[in-house]
Homo-oligomer: A and B are copies of this chain.
């Protein structure tokens, strides 16, 4: 079997990421949080935010952009609200810590909201929302990021792909999990279409004048979700922006240096924002559970278009997760090459 098509088990992939991160000097908390967030994405098939980011994070940790031994701490609090300073940790460190605090606050006050300062790229927003759902609560996560998406009728990169995520527990089932960029498509989609020479769908990407294009090679920016009604996508990006950057005093998207830029020394000063909600603060557990079950069951069994089927948010992800847990995952060639290099540099055996 050609090594480039070998699959690796999720558990060994987890081991590899942890050991590489510890090998480069990241503390236990950083290795753990970074690995968990990447593995959430890889497990669910969100490969853009999965283990392919390991080499990038290592570079940022080695360069000093990310703090290998951050001291994440609470800097202020008021009732059901707290602000954490992540001390320029890898972004998942701050986001997991924030969600942990939000869950505690929600258990005390019914709802808890936490702003995270001096954070960085946190990966898939759903990784943190799902933590609340695993404990029976509703979780929401938001982040802004460097500019890549034009405004409605705009002709420059303005917002980041600013994700909005919410996870809701469903008794006896996988959580309802929405994790969406507020752009029409992720930029990775554009790159994929470039490499395959395919045309993009209408209304998802624009050239340098802000005019929609279906040519991935002319794409200079992404369109906000909604095409002709892109003011909605831009407004949703604004929700993530205001929560993540304004309420934390961190950088607005257009002030954030590019994630993939040359400078691996300077912290990027991103904010993030998480909310947890305790359902029982509103209704008894049985009513909540019956409501969610009826909602997702009716959704899944409702009529579909010819040759299509309907899914609840997260269904596709849990299906991929089931498959990958059983069969492992195939690494793309670029990630495999990067892993070989990391394996040699830190003396950690390749995932199998």
Q: A242-B176, A242-B292, A247-B279 are in contact. Are A310 and B202 (CB under 8 A)?
A: no
Residue contact A153 to B242, C-beta cutoff 8 Å: no
Q: Is the pair B282, A81 in contact by a Cβ cutoff of 8 Å?
A: yes
**How many whole Å from A152's CB to the nearest CB in chain B?**
7
User: In this assembly, does A288 line the interface, its C-beta being within 8 Å of a C-beta of chain B?
Assistant: yes
Taking chain A's interface residues, is the majority helix, strand, or loop, or is none over half, making it mixed? mixed
Interface size counted on chain A using CB atoms at 8 A: 85
**Residues of chain B contacted by A280 (CB below 8 angstroms):** 78
Contact with B along A129-161 (1 / 0, CB 8 A): 000000000100000000000011111101000
Interface string of A277-298 (1 = CB under 8 A from B): 1111111000110011011001
A residues neighboring B (CB under 8 Å): 76, 78-81, 83, 108-113, 115, 138, 151-156, 158, 164, 166, 168, 176, 178, 180, 184-185, 201-204, 209-211, 225-229, 231-236, 238-239, 241-242, 245-249, 252, 254, 275, 277-283, 287-288, 291-292, 294-295, 298-299, 302-306, 308-313
14 residue pairs bridging A and B, Cβ less than 8 Å apart: A76-B282, A81-B111, A152-B311, A156-B303, A168-B246, A178-B236, A185-B229, A225-B225, A225-B233, A238-B312, A242-B292, A246-B288, A249-B287, A252-B295
